[in-house]
C-alpha cells in the first residue's frame, strides 16, 4: 500500500475570521470559513490524532507514533493529518524518513475564542 | 409548505465529555461524542442562526425572526434549529404561535474549554 506522506504546502487557512458568536451575527462568508474549520475538527479520528499531538512532548509527534494508537492504516492517518494541516491546526516537517506534526496552538485558541460566551474581564 | 416546528424533547447530549485536547489523548468514545457536537456546529447556516440567537437580547430569538436574515425557507431553518437544539446549544419553548430559541451558553463554553490550549492561571 502506498504511503501518503504528501508534501503539504497548502497555505493554512487559519481559523480567525470574525467576532465571537455572542457578539454579533456572523455573515455568510465568515460562517462558511468557520464551518470549514470546524468540519476539519469534527471527526473522531482527527480529534484523537490532534489530541495525541497536542498532549505530546513539545506538542509534536512523529507520524510513526500516530498509527498504532488510532488503529487505522497509515494512509488513512496521513489523510486525516493532511486535513488538520490544511486547516491550520498542525504543521508538518520531514526529518529523515519520517514526517513530524506539530500543534499550532493559536489555531485551536482562535476557534475556542470564537465560541466562548463567558466574559473574562471583558 | 408545511411548517416544521417540531416538538424537540430529545435529551440534550451536551458537549462535556473529556479533558482538554492538550491534556491527554482522547479515547474513541469521547472523540465520537465531541465530533458529533462539532458536526452540529460545522455548518454555515447553523453558525449564523446560533450567532443571531446568541447576540440577541436575552440570548433568545423567535423563529419568526430567524428565517429572513438567513435567506432560507422556514422548514430548512427549523431543521437547523432542531440540530442545534438536539446538540444542546439551544433550548426551545413555544409561546403562543411561535417557537423561541434560547442559547445554552454553557454548551458553547464547554466546547471552547475543550479546544483551548492557553493556560489561564492553570
Residue B85 has pLDDT above 60, yes or no: yes
Across the range B62-84, mean pLDDT stands at 95
C-beta atoms of A44 and B38 within 8 A: no
| A10-14, A58-62, B27-31: range with lowest mean pLDDT | A10-14
Report the alpha-carbon distance of residue B91 to residue B30 in Å, rounded: 23
C-beta atoms of A26 and B48 within 8 A: yes
| A3-7, A49-53, A86-90, B22-26: range with lowest mean pLDDT | A3-7
B21 found inside a domain: no
A4 found inside a domain: no
- Please tell me if residue B16 touches chain A, with a CB cutoff of 8 Å: no
Across the range A30-46, mean pLDDT stands at 97
Q: How far is A29 from chain B (nearest CA, A)?
A: 8
HSE, side-chain direction, 13 A CA sphere, residue B108: 29
CATH, residue A36:
1.10.10.10
Rounded to 5 degrees, what angle do the CA atoms B21, B17, A108 make? Answer: 30
Residue A76 has pLDDT above 70, yes or no: yes
In sequence order, the β-bridge partners of residue B92 are: B101
Interface A:B, Cβ pairs < 8 A: 135
Residue A23 has pLDDT above 60, yes or no: yes
Helix (H, G, I), strand (E, B) or coil at B117: coil
Residue B95 pLDDT class (50, 70, 90 cuts):
very high
In sequence order, the β-bridge partners of residue A95 are: A98
C-alpha cell at A1: 500500500
Report the alpha-carbon distance of residue B120 to residue B22 in Å, rounded: 14
HSE, side-chain direction, 13 A CA sphere, residue A72: 17
Q: Could you tell me the residue range of the domain that residue B43 belongs to? A: 28-115
Higher pLDDT, A8 or A87: A87
Summarised one tens digit per residue, pLDDT across range A45-55 is 999 999 999 99
Residue numbers in B near A22 (CB within 8 A): 51, 54-55, 59, 103, 105, 108
Residue A98 has pLDDT above 80, yes or no: yes
B104 found inside a domain: yes
Percent of residues, chain B, with pLDDT higher than 90: 80
Across the range A50-62, mean pLDDT stands at 96
Q: How far is A9 from chain B (nearest CA, A)?
A: 25
The residue among A89, A98, A104 whose CA lies nearest residue A36 is A89
C-beta atoms of A41 and B38 within 8 A: yes
State residue A19's pLDDT score: 87
C-alpha cell at A100: 513530524
State residue A119's pLDDT score: 58
Residue A18 has pLDDT above 90, yes or no: no
Summarised one tens digit per residue, pLDDT across range B17-64 is 788 999 999 999 999 999 999 999 999 999 999 999 999 999 999 999
A62 found inside a domain: yes
Report the alpha-carbon distance of residue A90 to residue A100 in Å, rounded: 10
For residue B34, give Cα distances in angstroms to A51, B19, B110.
Answer: 12, 11, 10
Exposure string over A74-83, b if 16+ CB within 10 A, otherwise e:
beebbbbbbb
Residue A66 pLDDT class (50, 70, 90 cuts):
very high
Residue B1 has pLDDT above 70, yes or no: no
Please answer whether residues A82 and A12 qualify as being in contact, where contact means their C-beta atoms are separated by less than 8 angstroms. no
ipTM: 0.84
State residue B119's pLDDT score: 58
Number of domains in chain B: 1
B1 found inside a domain: no
A111 found inside a domain: yes
Residue A5 has pLDDT above 90, yes or no: no
Report the alpha-carbon distance of residue A117 to residue B109 in Å, rounded: 6
Amino acid at each position: 500500500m502506498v504511503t501518503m506522506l504528501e508534501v503539504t504546502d497548502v497555505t493554512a487557512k487559519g481559523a480567525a475570521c470574525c467576532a465571537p458568536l455572542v457578539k454579533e451575527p456572523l455573515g455568510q462568508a465568515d460562517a462558511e470559513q468557520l464551518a470549514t474549520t470546524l468540519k476539519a475538527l469534527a471527526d473522531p479520528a482527527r480529534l484523537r490524532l490532534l489530541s495525541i499531538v497536542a498532549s505530546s512532548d513539545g506538542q509534536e509527534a512523529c507520524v510513526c507514533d500516530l498509527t498504532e494508537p488510532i488503529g487505522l492504516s497509515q494512509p488513512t492517518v496521513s489523510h486525516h493529518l493532511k486535513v488538520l494541516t490544511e486547516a491550520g491546526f498542525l504543521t508538518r516537517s520531514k526529518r529523515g524518513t519520517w514526517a513530524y506534526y506539530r500543534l499550532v496552538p493559536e489555531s485551536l485558541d482562535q476557534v475556542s475564542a470564537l465560541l466562548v460566551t463567558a466574559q473574562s474581564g471583558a
